Amino acid sequence: MAADGVTDQGEEINKLVERVVSAQKKYEEFSQQQVDCIIEAMAKEAERNAETLARMAVEETGFGRIQDKIIKNYLASRNIYEYIKEMKTVGVVNSYPDLGIEEIASPVGVVLAIIPSTNPTSTTIFKALISLKSRNGVVFSPHPTAANCIKYTAGLLHKAAVSAGAPEGIIACIDNSTIEATNALMKHPGVAVILATGGMGMVRAAYSSGKPAYGVGPGNVPAYIDRSADADKAVQRVLTGKTFDWGTVCSSEQAIVADAPVYEKVTDALKKYKAHLCSPEETGRLEKTVVTPQFGVNPDIVGRSPVVIADKAGFKVPEDTTALVVEYSGVGKDFPLSIEKLSPVLALYKVNGWREGCARCIEILSFGGLGHTLSLHCEDEKIIREFALRKPASRILLNTSSTHGAVGFTTNLPPSLTLGCGPLGDNITSDNITPLHLVTIKRLARGVREAESTLPVLQSGRDRPGDAGMHQASVETQEDFKKSSTKKNITEIVDGFLEGRISKGKKMEISVVSSPCAHSDEADKAVTETSEPQQGELPADFVCETDVIKAINSGSKIRITRKTIITPLARELADKYQILIVI
């Protein structure tokens, strides 16, 4: 088995994927109970090692804070497990008896999980759990700067899964993580779907690989603080999110947009909670330090403390500083810190009213955060509704930290460490990714009506479409007709209908229309144009097969108008014996 783009690692990658494919073929035969036992074992093992994995991640990458990465690992293990443990992912997962439909879950196969350096161990735990919950195998491709802690986490989870009964080789991780190796895995025929978390270059590569892929976009999250909000509480929530793991979560706040009447309260609260408001000179220094000439984020400041970042920029702040804040009047390349910063650096804007605040938030989202997340601190229901309806974000978070709310920690959104941004962010989904995104849903649909009863009734030969095979089968004789149980059932149904439409004692006469499918001279002759009906000879408003048979037996004709409703089989039989007369 060969994969396009494979270099020196080709043979290693082929063997690794083949092992996971083989294990997954066995695993897809497991019952829901077996799967759930394996998931429980994995989650408990990850939770037991939450602190160890957090320390490994910080020591290897230098990003974030150990105590916050412990919380992330708990979220990825304990919280995710509690959410998915009762989820049905094997066999019939939904049944709708009234509709005659059953939904059946099937695994997709092997998942390629691309893991970032900012949240390495927690993302590995999360993707392993949702992959195996849906009876898939998983291959991890770690970011090179976090390869050791990711590989260790994957090995830990694999051991727990196998101990609980999973096939050997169901979880794997490539040894030497390179761009070439990841590209080879993305195009490997053994990989069924890609879970891509990382930079936009990696996500775009996943989407262009030819494989189904779930990628995420950047999260340039604005936090709007309305005049109706408790400004102090709002700032506290913003800083709780922004300082968590020093801003490495994609849903962390990147800018505060404050309504003018509460702007001073917002700045007072920022100072109260130890945020440093930068001077114009410090802002200039910070811009050059945080943002590269290519208008990307300097990796040396990602996930670092405000003290470290300020020091790199050439100025000092107190050791207990929570964030660095720059006051801005615009968004775009003239305002470099209006991008996503992946660090405890915030832009601050003053606006006059919610409409101006709304426009500013859209500007920020459009500058690298479309479709991701918006944070709103407000008590006015009208404004809340306007933001929810009009903002180009997949998650509108109200009165909570966006960092924690988007991933389902402080909200009831599905807990997830992969957040879709929808088409606005060039993503396939706007959902928080769960195991249900990694199964194929088949539907067993039972027939609930006969096709003939659903066909459209056409009014005349000229109105009907050309011959498309709709009436290929013809009734040759009355005896053939009577032998058809389906047609008998239809006749009984139509007779019942007619009882309510035709008054007692009135003789229903049927007129014969030619087969409009033929479009021939013979067909035209089948329609007999007549003068006004004689007294008592009224045209039929509905014609069924029984009416046609009676006319054939009695040697009579059935009179119709252009508005007469005729069942398809009645028309076919009437055309054959030229029973219908249009008046």
Residue 358 annotated in active site: no
User: Which segment of 24-38, 410-424, 425-439, 523-537 scores lowest on mean pLDDT?
Assistant: 523-537
Q: Encoding tokens for residue 93? A: 């997962």
The CA-based dihedral angle spanning residues 331, 333, 334, 337, taken in that order and rounded to the nearest 10 degrees: 70
Let me know: does 577 contact 548? Beta carbons within 8 Å.
Answer: yes
CATH level 2 (architecture), domain 221-410: 3-Layer(aba) Sandwich (3.40)
For residue 297, what is the DSSP state? Answer: B
CA distance 353 to 227: 8
pLDDT at 342 over 50: yes
* pLDDT classification of 207: cutoffs 50, 70, 90: confident
Contact 254, 297 (CB under 8 A): no
Q: What integer pLDDT is reported at residue 488 of this predicted model?
A: 47
Model confidence band, residue 563 (pLDDT cutoffs 50, 70, 90): confident
Give 421's DSSP letter: -
Q: Is 31 helix (H, G, I), strand (E, B) or coil?
A: coil
The residue behind tokens 């989407």 is 207
- Quick one: average pLDDT of 331-357? 97
Superfamily classification of domain 10-216+438-443: Aldehyde Dehydrogenase; Chain A, domain 1 (3.40.605.10)
* pLDDT, average across residues 555-570: 84
> pLDDT-based confidence at 544, cuts 50/70/90?
confident
- Alpha carbons within 13 angstroms on the beta-carbon side of residue 423 total 0
Q: How many residues does the chain have?
A: 583
CB 310 within 8 A of CB 321: yes
CB 307 within 8 A of CB 344: no
Could you read off the pLDDT of 147-206 as tens digits, one per residue?
999 999 999 999 999 999 999 999 999 988 888 899 899 999 999 999 998 777 777 788
Cα torsion at 192, 420, 169, 73 (round to 10°)? 180
Q: Letter for the amino acid at 362?
A: I
What pLDDT is attached to residue 555? 84
Rounded distance between C-alpha atoms, residue 582 and residue 573, angstroms: 16
Token digits of residue 529: 């144009």
As annotated, the residues of the chain forming the CATH 3.40.309.10 domain(s) are 221-410
List the structure tokens of 577.
């014996």
Q: Provide CATH 3.40.605.10 ranges for the chain.
A: 10-216+438-443
pLDDT band for position 10 (cuts 50, 70, 90): confident
pLDDT number for residue 456: 58
Pairwise CA distance, residues 185 & 174, whole Å: 10
Helix axes 280-290, 306-313, angle to 10 degrees: 100
User: Is 319's pLDDT higher than 60?
Assistant: yes
The pair of structure tokens assigned to 477 is 């004789």
- Give the pLDDT band of residue 466 (cuts 50, 70, 90): very low
Task: For the chain, count helices (H), then strands (E).
Answer: 21, 19
Q: Tens digits of per-residue pLDDT, 402-453? A: 999 999 999 999 999 999 999 888 888 999 999 999 999 999 999 998 887 6
Tokens describing residue 476 = 């040759």
**Rounded to whole angstroms, how far apart are CA atoms 189 and 81?**
30
The bridge status of strand 558-566 relative to strand 345-351 is unpaired
Q: What is the pLDDT of residue 452?
A: 75
pLDDT band at 243 (very low <50, low <70, confident <90, very high): very high
Residue listed under structure tokens 């389906």: 486
Catalytic pick among 149, 173, 250, 278 = 250
Query: Residue 193 burial (CB < 10 Å; 0-12/13-18/19+)?
Result: buried
Written as one string, the DSSP assignment of 33-89 is HHHHHHHHHHHHHHHHTHHHHHHHHHHHH--S-HHHHHHHHHIIIIIHHHHHTT---
pLDDT value at residue 495: 52
Could you tell me if 547 and 508 are in contact, meaning their C-beta atoms sit under 8 angstroms apart? yes
